[in-house]
Amino acid sequence: MNIKENWINYIHGLQDRICAALEQEDGKATFQEDQWQRAEGGGGKTRVIANGNVFEKGGVNTSVVFGEVTDPMRKQLNINGHRWFACGLSLVLHPVNPFVPTVHCNYRMFEVYNDDDLKVFADHTIIGREAAEARAADRWFGGGTDLTPYYLFEEDARHFHQTYKNACDAFDPGFYPAFKKECDNYFVNWHRNKERRGIGGIFYDHQRPSAEKDTSFWFNFGKTCGDAFITAYLPIVQKRKQLPYTEQHKHWQEIRRGRYVEFNLVHDRGTLFGLKTNGRTESILMSLPPTVRFEYNCQPQPGSEEDKLLQACLNPVEWV
């Protein structure tokens, strides 16, 4: 099998493992799968969970898509070439309990083919054989996992970040500080005084194989980070899912969910890519929470638990 087949198999296996773990944690709701096809090439498996004991709404989606590079993709996404291929997993979970954080995770591989590659590309299936694989003009990996709490438990933040530091350190001790900073500087509502969506994690994009770090290196790094998701997130869920909460806590959760919506619709490159490539709208907007609030000039009481969370979003913390 070539790199595309291996990556596709890994992504589908990761989807299965994560969904099974989340269903067990919820104890009530199960994922409903919706398989879809994209007219221009490829398709995906959208799995959605809703109205559970733990998860109010969530999705764990995979896609294997390909097609011709369009002018909007060249201009807005800075993609050069004639054809492209992408495969990845993307998940977002919005819990019921405001003391359980929302989480996002995404790992993907992207390839671009030039005009000279079109005959070879057309002669094989999209996942191709070695002949087609060798002709990819460009290939990169990207991904990350980040945490969006509504109330800040510092031990949870340390656990989450330590898990991904451990994953990064196994490959390069410089990765965690670099990718944490990248995460802190990506999930930002710039229009709200540089307010972060949450407390970060890791984020990396356009990591191209090199002589020092080849395709296998980045493939294995993506696998390690993807596999770390359950270890990073589920212990937090287990600790917080049964804590009692009030309507005031739910009110603040919905205010912060509004910030989540703002980032995803205004700034997120993944949302833009999906919409610009005629992706499946329902799957792309699966990331949005079920209920939100937009209240005029809503400010938490200084020194409150709500303000503690906001300050961590305005001033990123070194958790480990």
114 domain residue, yes or no? yes
Q: pLDDT in tens for each of the 320 residues of the chain? A: 589 999 999 999 999 999 999 999 999 999 999 999 988 899 999 999 999 999 999 999 999 999 998 887 777 667 778 899 999 999 999 999 999 999 999 999 999 998 665 554 444 444 444 444 447 888 999 999 999 999 999 999 999 999 999 999 999 999 999 999 999 999 999 999 999 999 999 999 999 999 999 999 999 999 999 999 999 999 999 999 999 999 999 999 999 999 999 999 998 888 887 887 777 888 888 889 999 999 999 999 999 999 999 999 999 999 99
d(CA 264, CA 155): 27
Residue range of the domain that includes 14: 3-314
Distances (CA, A) of 206 to 29, 139, 140, 218, 234: 36, 8, 5, 11, 29
**Angle of helix 3-26 versus helix 215-240 axis, rounded to 10:** 0
320 domain residue, yes or no? no
Kindly report the CATH number assigned to the domain that includes residue 227. 3.40.1500.10
Show the tokens assigned to 219.
Answer: 């493939």
272 domain residue, yes or no? yes
d(CA 257, CA 98): 10
- Predicted model pTM: 0.91
**Angle of helix 154-169 versus helix 175-186 axis, rounded to 10:** 130
Q: Which residue in 12, 82, 104, 249 is the catalytic one?
A: 104
The DSSP H or E segment spanning 74 is helix 71-77
d(CA 54, CA 240): 10
104 domain residue, yes or no? yes
Domain count, the chain: 1
319 domain residue, yes or no? no
Catalytic status, residue 104: yes
Tens of pLDDT, residue by residue over 19-78, are 999 999 999 999 999 999 988 899 999 999 999 999 999 999 999 999 998 887 777 667
Tens of pLDDT, residue by residue over 6-35, are 999 999 999 999 999 999 999 999 999 999
Q: Are 29 and 50 in contact, with CB atoms under 8 Å apart?
A: yes
